[in-house]
A = this chain, B = another copy of it.
Amino acid sequence: MQDLKNYIDENKDRFIEELFELIRIPSVSSKESHKEDMYKAAEWIKTKLIKEGVDHAEVMETQGHPVVYGEKILNPALPTVLVYGHYDVQPAEPFDLWKSPPFEPEVRDGKIYARGANDDKGQMFMHFKAFEYLLKTNQLPCNVKFMIEGEEEIGSPSLGKFCEDNKEMLKADVILVSDTSMLGPKTPSITTGLRGLAYMEVEVTGPSHDLHSGLYGGAVANPLNVLCQMIASLQDENGRITIPGFYDDVEELSKEEREEMARAPFDMEEFKKHISINDVRGEKGYSTPERTGIRPSLDVNGIWGGYTEKGAKTILPSKAHAKISMRLVPHQESGKIEQLFIKHFEAIAPKSVKVKAEFLHGGEGYVSPTNTVAYQAASKAYETTYGIKPIPVRSGGSIPIISLFEKVLGTKSILMGFGLDSDAIHSPNENYALEQFYKGIETIPHFYKNFVEMSK
């Protein structure tokens, strides 16, 4: 693949222009108002795949946003790689914190700034360009299938059924995914673990309407105060989650496994500096990488209620709301955690309020062994382009669909991420370094080659 670097260099501006076309479509899956954009993005991807030379591509309906499927079958006897990605993005709010508009991508200081620049339009598109290269230069060594969905950011509610309904079509030897990060621009890593997720929305209702806080304050339960108390009580002074049964299925890693994990480079001062905090905070007895890698967590993702504009309004509000999500470790089941949460939340509510807790979305954790052909092929690919062996890492993030693929399709995934922790995915000013984008396009063809050779 001696022409690979040249090919990227000669076409790099075109790659970016193409990616920008996709980024400009605001395909926010969680918002009804963007429904048309979802189809626009899906059609764009289909057209692009066809142009790049797949035998066949189509926009396939699901119960929610459509999935784009495409395939290039060279020879049924060859191995098959299924590329998974997603064309939907997180909402871009709060808009006023963006230095440039989220859906008008621009390059500053060698980075693409836009919603979806990394997650996952940018990372997904690397696969399109790697495929383009392999096909144009007659070096594609295996069959390739693409499954690009539009509901990853809302928990992939339709993809389970889609996989069930299309098992034969999706048959593959490995699922290749770029939707994760690596440890640093010079420290490649492969994600070998993901956390599961149970995302809840809760509502606490006090009086039937907002009351005057002078006339009633002190005598009537204030749902905001109550919600704060309930949320506070979900964690103890050691940072442990107090929901009964929550830790029942949490695997305690051995001393050896934790020592092995601790070998991954981690710079506490750099970590704190990057996000401007004076101190970290989490479950007692675990290191920062362990707190995100092997331990579950509980975070309030949003809270609202009462008067929130400028100035003072002296009300005792009727309702309080919060979005609360728990990251789960492998073996914790999101459905079970959902039930434990609801039961506990109702149990701790004082009689003076009414509460509702609703499951918004979730999924299971995942652990991938490092002794598979796919892992070794990916490891060697990174080593070729980065010059050093990648480190296996357990990530705190969740891609619920990865465990679902294994369950429904019986296929393992390999997570070749090229994002960086500083990319601000899910945040204002999401970005993706051009260097990472091009390095990804360069690394992926090596994975194909290694995977086919090692599979022999």
Contacts and interface: CB of A to CB of B under 8 A. Distances in A.
Interface in A315-331: 315-317, 320-323, 325, 327
Contact of A218 (B213, B295, B307): B295
Given A214-B395, A299-B225, A325-B213, A280 B30 contact: no
A302 to B, nearest CB: 4
A218 B283 contact: yes
A306 B299 CA distance: 11
B312 A323 contact: yes
A402 to B, nearest CB: 13
A93 interface: yes
Interface in A344-381: 350-354, 360-361
Interface residues of A, number: 102
A211 interface: yes
Contacts of A307: 91, 93, 301-302, 323
A222 B93 contact: no
Contacts of A201: 312
A78 interface: no
Interface stretch (A137-145, A255-263, A271-279, A405-413): A271-279
A291 interface: yes
A51 interface: no
Contacts of A306: 300-303, 323
Given A228-B303, A313-B30, A313-B90, A215 B352 contact: no
Contacts of A169: none
Interface in A217-251: 217-222, 224-225, 227-229, 231-233, 235, 239
A105 B230 CA distance: 40
Nearest to A283: B218
Contacts of A79: none
A56 to B, nearest CB: 33
B217 A396 contact: yes
Contact of A212 (B280, B283, B316, B426): B426
This chain: copies in complex = 2
A427 B315 contact: yes
A190 interface: no
A199 to B, nearest CB: 5
Interface string A163-207: 000000000000000000100000000000001010101000011
A392 interface: no
Nearest to A304: B308
Interface in A287-314: 288-289, 291-292, 295-314
A188 to B, nearest CB: 17
A322 to B, nearest CB: 8
Contact of A312 (B154, B313, B315): B154
A91 B231 CA distance: 29
Contacts of A101: none
Contacts of A231: 225, 228-229, 232
A424 interface: yes
A397 interface: yes
A427 B312 contact: no
A282 interface: yes
A281 interface: yes
A232 B233 contact: yes
Given A210-B426, A225-B235, A276-B207, A396 B215 contact: yes
A332 interface: no
A429 interface: yes
B279 A215 contact: no
Contact of A396 (B90, B197, B216, B276): B216
Contacts of A425: 212
A303 to B, nearest CB: 5
B327 A301 contact: no
Interface of A: 30-32, 90-91, 93, 97, 153-155, 181, 195, 197, 199, 201, 206-222, 224-225, 227-229, 231-233, 235, 239, 275-283, 288-289, 291-292, 295-317, 320-323, 325, 327, 350-354, 360-361, 395-398, 421, 424-429
9 cross-chain pairs, A with B, having the tightest CB-CB distances, nearest first: A218-B297, A30-B311, A214-B397, A302-B306, A208-B276, A232-B232, A224-B300, A207-B275, A221-B281
